[in-house]
């Protein structure tokens, strides 16, 4: 079988190898890179079910990365997950009648570490091989920034520029980013929303002469390697829960803003993992929940909430799913994305029962329901949920009609959102972690910058590798 190559959702980009796709990030035609086929691994599940996390990651990632020698790939994966504090990397905890997939045991206590500890090493490997330099431009609603910085800090060949919305991430999330003072790290607080940060990033990547001149790369989930790395934990959790329960199928509840995390689960299902369905959870910024319930994808104003990493109205990974939904027709994707850019809305036909997708159902949790869920799980099970995870658990509880085990993704350690935990439980010191306590008096470095692509462009050009 021919090796997988990477094509654009908009159809103009020349097919790329895995390494070139990683370094390109956003396709040159403005689309997102996707594999030209999705391998079916149903006949390998029995062989994989008892593998530990690094070995399972190797088996899955190597299917999509034929241009990395297997010994090197194993070494990169092993190094990435040696930084995690739990021996399983992504353990599953039984909490009441839910199975909680804990994805926060990495160095920055968020699920982004699972992809970015690997991607940072992958960048270093490719740059050393090619004697290259890279300027990473990233936008974060909270956790991506610190995880990306942690993955590449101190690397000689890389400068990283991370934009976050000024005063719209949690104080701890901001301190995790801005207290890393390595010379190759630059933090920018943009006077706007996360969607503004994403738009600036896409604008600069669309300026091909600027992108080429400054060797721009991305660690956001528009980079295929991010989504690929996240596919692994769906397999890992499904195997563990199936073994514990004897179930043939499982369900996953996923809190999401940018659609990347749940998209990884969608790919896992297409690969043959027996997932009955995916349950998408948003907060008040419910563009995705509204879409999967109405077929109308329409942005609204961004509302600040207790789960700031989900305060998003434009989901950057939505375009990948859309490509498959419109029959892998890049012209149809381009038409719809152009319409959305111009009008702020698009519509997808629904089936006779009003469904957009048979594999994804969706709901939203507001602040009151999120805090009540944190309070209930702590009181009943002595288990703390962070506010993003709690939104996912609340929405999961609205879909109780099936018997298949429910796996809820826990995307961050609760200590990262201590103010929300205190509001929910009335206990100020309940959510603590020594890594975060150590940041309390740490010096920080950050530049507040105007909400414009030109401002960021000027800043980056003056400091790029």
- In a domain, residue 149? The reply is no
Q: Is residue 183 part of a domain?
A: no
Query: Is pLDDT of 152 > 80?
Result: yes
- Could you tell me if residue 229 is inside a domain? yes
Catalytic site residue from 19, 112, 211, 269: 112
Residue of higher predicted confidence among 170 and 307: 307
Q: How many domains does the chain have?
A: 1
Evaluate if residue 39 carries a pLDDT over 80: yes
pLDDT band at 347 (very low <50, low <70, confident <90, very high): very high
**Known active-site residue 416:** no
pTM score, whole prediction: 0.94
Give the residue-averaged pLDDT of 402-414: 96
CATH of the domain at 414: 3.40.50.1100
140 is a domain residue:
no
User: Domain range spanning residue 100?
Assistant: 92-109+225-434
Average pLDDT over every residue of 351-366:
88
Mean pLDDT of 2-31: 95
> Does residue 164 sit within a domain?
no
pLDDT of 13:
93
Q: Is residue 102 part of a domain?
A: yes
Instruction: Tell me the pLDDT tens digit for each residue of 107-138.
Output: 999 999 999 999 999 999 999 999 999 999 99
Q: Summarize pLDDT for 164-206 with one digit per residue, the tens.
A: 999 888 888 899 999 999 999 999 999 999 889 989 999 999 9
User: What number is the average pLDDT over the span 372-397?
Assistant: 97
Average pLDDT for residues 80-89, to the nearest whole number?
Answer: 97
pLDDT confidence tier of residue 1, bands split at 50, 70 and 90: confident
Give the mean pLDDT of 141-150.
87
Residue 448 lies in a domain: no
Predicted pLDDT of residue 34? 98
Strand partners, 34: 7
Q: Phi, psi at residue 299, to the nearest 5°?
A: -80, 155
Which of 417, 373, 359 lies closest to 104, judged by CA? 417
Residue 372 falls inside a structural domain: yes
Residue 283, pLDDT above cutoff 80: yes
User: Whole-angstrom Cα distance, residue 362 to residue 364?
Assistant: 7
Percent of the chain with pLDDT strictly greater than 70: 100
d(CA 63, CA 223): 17
């Amino acid at each position: 079988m021919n090796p997988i190559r990477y094509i654009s959702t908009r159809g103009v980009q020349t097919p790329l190898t895995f390494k070139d796709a990683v370094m390109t990030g956003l396709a040159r035609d403005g689309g997102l890179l996707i594999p030209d086929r999705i391998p079916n691994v149903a006949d390998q599940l029995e062989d994989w079910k008892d593998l530990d996390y690094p070995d399972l990651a190797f088996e899955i990632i190597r299917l999509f990365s034929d241009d990395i020698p297997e010994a090197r790939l194993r070494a990169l994966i092993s190094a990435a997950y040696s930084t995690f504090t739990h021996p399983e990397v992504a353990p599953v905890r039984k909490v009441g009648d839910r199975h909680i997939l804990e994805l926060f045991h990495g160095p920055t206590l968020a699920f982004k570490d699972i992809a970015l500890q690997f991607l940072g090493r992958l960048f270093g490997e490719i740059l050393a091989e090619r004697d290259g330099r890279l300027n990473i431009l990233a936008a974060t609603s909270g956790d991506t920034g610190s995880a990306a910085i942690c993955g590449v800090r101190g690397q000689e060949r890389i400068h990283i520029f991370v934009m976050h919305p000024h005063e719209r991430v949690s104080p701890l999330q901001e301190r995790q980013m801005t207290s890393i003072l390595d010379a190759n790290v630059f933090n920018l607080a943009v006077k706007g929303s996360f969607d503004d940060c994403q738009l600036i990033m896409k604008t600069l990547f669309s300026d091909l002469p600027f992108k080429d001149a400054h060797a721009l790369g991305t660690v956001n989930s528009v980079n295929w390697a991010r989504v690929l790395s996240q596919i692994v934990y769906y397999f890992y959790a499904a195997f563990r829960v199936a073994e514990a329960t004897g179930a043939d199928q499982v369900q996953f509840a996923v809190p999401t803003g940018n659609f990347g995390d749940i998209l990884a689960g969608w790919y896992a299902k297409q690969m043959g993992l027996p997932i009955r369905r995916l349950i998408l959870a948003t907060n008040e910024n419910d563009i995705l929940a509204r879409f999967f319930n109405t077929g109308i994808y329409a942005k609204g104003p961004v509302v600040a909430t207790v789960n700031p990493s989900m305060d998003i109205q434009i989901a950057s990974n939505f375009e990948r799913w859309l490509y498959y939904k419109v029959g892998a027709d890049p012209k149809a994707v381009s038409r719809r994305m152009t319409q959305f850019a111009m009008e702020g809305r698009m519509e997808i036909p629904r089936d006779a029962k009003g469904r957009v997708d048979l594999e994804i159902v969706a709901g939203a949790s507001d602040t009151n329901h999120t805090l009540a869920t944190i309070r209930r799980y702590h009181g009943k099970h002595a288990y703390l949920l962070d506010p993003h995870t709690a939104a996912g658990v609340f929405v999961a509880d609205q879909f109780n009609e099936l018997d298949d085990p429910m796996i809820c993704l826990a995307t961050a350690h609760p200590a990262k959102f201590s103010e929300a935990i205190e509001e929910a439980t009335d206990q100020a010191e309940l959510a603590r972690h020594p890594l975060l306590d150590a940041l309390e008096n740490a010096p920080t470095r950050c530049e507040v910058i105007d909400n414009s692509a030109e401002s960021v462009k000027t800043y980056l050009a003056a400091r790029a590798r």
